[in-house]
Amino acid sequence: MQLGTVAWIANAGDCRAVLRRSGAAHRLSRDHKPNIESEKRRIYFAGGRVEFLGCWRVTHNTLPIALACSRSLGDADFKFPNPLVEATPEVSFVSVKLRSH
């Protein structure tokens, strides 16, 4: 691939990357929701739970709060002492065609 023909995407949590191509929006990333099977499994193994409280949320016996995403840059209460929510981003890339102006 030539330099400048690839866009790298990294996201964590509920941020989104979208590309406009030919007048249409194309999703480049996915939200990290607790009900995604791989995220749910990781949360359970860390000692947390996933519950539907108006939307899917990460919960824990010792926390009086719930979080609607399974990855986050902040939210230290969900990371220590057990990493129920992690900050590790998902990284992907997409081929892009650059045009001159």
Q: Residue 82 has what pLDDT? A: 86
Phi, psi of 90 (to 5 degrees): -90, 135
Q: Residue 2 has what pLDDT? A: 56
- The closest of 42, 16, 40, 13 to 28, measured between CA atoms, is 16
Q: Residue 66 has what pLDDT? A: 95
List, for the chain, all residue ranges whose pLDDT scores fall below the cut of 50. Answer: 1
pTM reported for the whole predicted model: 0.79
d(CA 86, CA 91): 14
Q: Residue 1 has what pLDDT? A: 47
Q: Residue 78 has what pLDDT? A: 93
